[in-house]
Amino acid sequence: MARVSRLRQLPGAWHAARAGRAIAGAVRRRSRHGLVLLYHRIAGPRRDPQLLDVSPANFEGQLAVLARTATALSLAEFESLRRAGRLPRRAVAVTFDDGYADNLDAAAPALERHGIAATVFVTTGMVGSHREFWWDDVERLVFDFSPPSVDAAARLRQYESLIAEVHPMPPHVRESRLAQLRLAASVPEEGRASHRALSMDGLRALSARRGISIGAHTVTHPSLARLSVEDQVREMAASIAWLERELGIAVRSLAYPFGTPNDVAGDTVRAASEICDYAMSTDSRAAWRWSPRWRLPRVTVRDWDAAQFERRLDEWFAA
């Protein structure tokens, strides 16, 4: 009988939940919301299996679209207004992950020309390194050093397989595996100049640029959810402390490496809430007043021309 009673209640409960979701959706649509845009590199043309690069020409076009059709804010301004429920119409903040050298050489001058601010989240363990970021290391291992008999499709499959293998590894295991792969393929540890991270002087110069702010992106760019809580705290806190010490600035924002639900656990978010004022995910949606403060959504920008980018921007704001 108890089971029958519960079943009789289910339709009403289901309709109530559905109505609640509809109301919440209507509130979100009518509330002021904005977009945090995620870039990585301003480079090209070159091989880019991760689709991280935006060419300098397309980046210029995208910035022109933002200057014409959006209200571009610094990330700090965006976050303050978001929490207050006072974001202006079509508010946008620009961010970069990782800390590639071209963020200084190509992105910063373009941003300054268009009067648009940006926050660069830096992987501190890579600053000044002669190595490449690990996903770039895998890319050159597979595409530049595979035997000529391996066709393009097979190389891509091999690349995707190695990325899936290495991605969840703790940093020390990952580095050991990459060293093993480089040795087997006779690949030098020295990375390509075209793929280098910021040097120490470059990071200081970038931090000093008008409109540029610096955030933390951990020390070694791991999948945080795969680490112990202690190691997660160490990765996040040490990157913030290093940036503050080396640059003489306050660093209160952080971007989780990869930023997906598989890479950011509840423990990760709780640890971040003790370390920084807000943290960025890669949840591809608009941000509004009640977006989670330590899991703020961002939308990833690809290598689109101005017209394609403007269409995407309209779709994101309407979604």
What would the pLDDT profile of 262-295 be if each residue is shown by its tens digit? 999 999 999 999 999 999 999 999 999 999 999 9
Residue 225: HSE in the Cβ half-sphere, 13 Å Cα cutoff? 15
Is 301 in the same domain as 277? Answer: yes
- Among 142-156, 221-235, 238-252, the least confident range: 142-156
pLDDT number for residue 13: 57
Is 171 in the same domain as 200? Answer: no
Average pLDDT over residues 291-308: 98
pLDDT at 115 over 50: yes
Is 100 in the same domain as 60? Answer: yes
As a whole number, the mean pLDDT across the chain is: 92
Is 22 in the same domain as 40? Answer: no
Q: How far apart are CA 90 and CA 69, in angstroms?
A: 8
123 part of a folded domain: yes
What secondary structure, in 3-state letters, does 45-68 show?
CCCCCCCCEECHHHHHHHHHHHHH
Beta bridge pairs of residue 296 = 280
Is 101 in the same domain as 69? Answer: yes
Global confidence as pTM: 0.90
Is 48 in the same domain as 161? Answer: no
Alpha-carbon Rg for the chain in angstroms: 21
Determine how many CB atoms are found less than 10 A away from the CB of residue 278.
22
Is 63 in the same domain as 123? Answer: yes
Is 115 in the same domain as 213? Answer: yes
User: What is the tens place of the pLDDT at every residue in 157-199?
Assistant: 999 999 999 999 999 999 999 999 999 999 999 999 999 999 9
- Beta-carbon contacts of 233 under 8 Å, excluding residues fewer than 6 positions away, are 271, 274, 275
Is 229 in the same domain as 109? Answer: yes
Is 49 in the same domain as 2? Answer: no
Residue 41 pLDDT class (50, 70, 90 cuts): very high
CA distances from 319 to 120, 184, 286 (A): 26, 48, 8
pLDDT at 5 over 50: no
**C-alpha angle 270/273/279, rounded to 5°?**
105
181 part of a folded domain: yes
- 3-state SS, residue 139: helix
191 part of a folded domain: no
Which CATH number covers residue 213?
Answer: 3.20.20.370
Residue 9 lies in domain: 1-30
Is 144 in the same domain as 119? Answer: no
pLDDT number for residue 270: 97
190 part of a folded domain: no
pLDDT number for residue 288: 97
Average pLDDT over residues 241-264: 98
Structure tokens at 84: 């207050």
Q: How far apart are CA 276 and CA 273, in angstroms?
A: 6
Structure tokens at 117: 């601010």
